[in-house]
Amino acid sequence: MKLQISTRLAIFAVLELTAREGCQLSVADIGEKYGVSSHHLAKVMHVMGRAGLVRSVRGAGGGYQFAGNPRRTTLLDVALLFEELSSVEHDGGAANATPEDQALREVLNEIDDIACATLGSITIATMRKLVDRRGTSGGRRSKTDVPGRRNQSRL
């Protein structure tokens, strides 16, 4: 399964902001770690801000803070801000759908259901545990190590 780069960045940003209690980071801080432009990340943060997942702190030393509950916010909550992941009826649901369309729809809906259930079952707090278990929380990446490239197959 592939996620949009914006979704992946949003998840990475939330993980950074929840690494420590009260953590506050600028888009530049996060963008540097993941090798992405502040401009792109700012758009992602703006979407999450509107959804109430992050709040911006103005002034010198300002940045973003996570505004949700890490034990209640799931990957699905974040992903749905950027993707259409809900188990929507595929085209096979149309009135003129062939039996082949309908059969394929059934299979695709099964895949969507599983994807949504998986993303909806993993909270940010659980993700932090997974990250910490892998010992990568302090790892820094090079500018060329864009999440959308190397990690595309991981999600």
Partner 1 sequence: MATAAKARAAKTDSTVRVRRVQAADIPHVIGLDTRVTKLAKAEYWNDVFVRYGKRRLHERFFLVAESRVDKADPHVLGFIIGEIRAWEFGSTPCGWVFALSVEPEMRLHGIGSALFEAISREFKKAGVGKMRTMVARDAPLQLLFFRSEGMMAGPYIQLEKDLD
Binding site for partner 1 (CB under 8 A): 71, 74, 113-114, 117-118, 120-123, 125-126, 129, 133
Give least dist CB 110 to partner 1, A.
Answer: 10
Instruction: Give the chain's end-to-end CA distance (angstroms, integer).
Output: 6
Element holding 79 (H helix, E strand): helix 75-79
Q: Shortest approach of partner 1 to residue 126 CB, angstroms?
A: 5
Q: Give the span between the Cα atoms of 49 and 27, in whole angstroms.
A: 13
Residue 57 or residue 117: which is nearer to partner 1 going by CB? 117
Decide whether 120 or 148 has the Cβ nearer to partner 1.
Answer: 120
* 11 or 44: CB nearest partner 1: 11
Cα gap 128→131, rounded to integer Å? 5
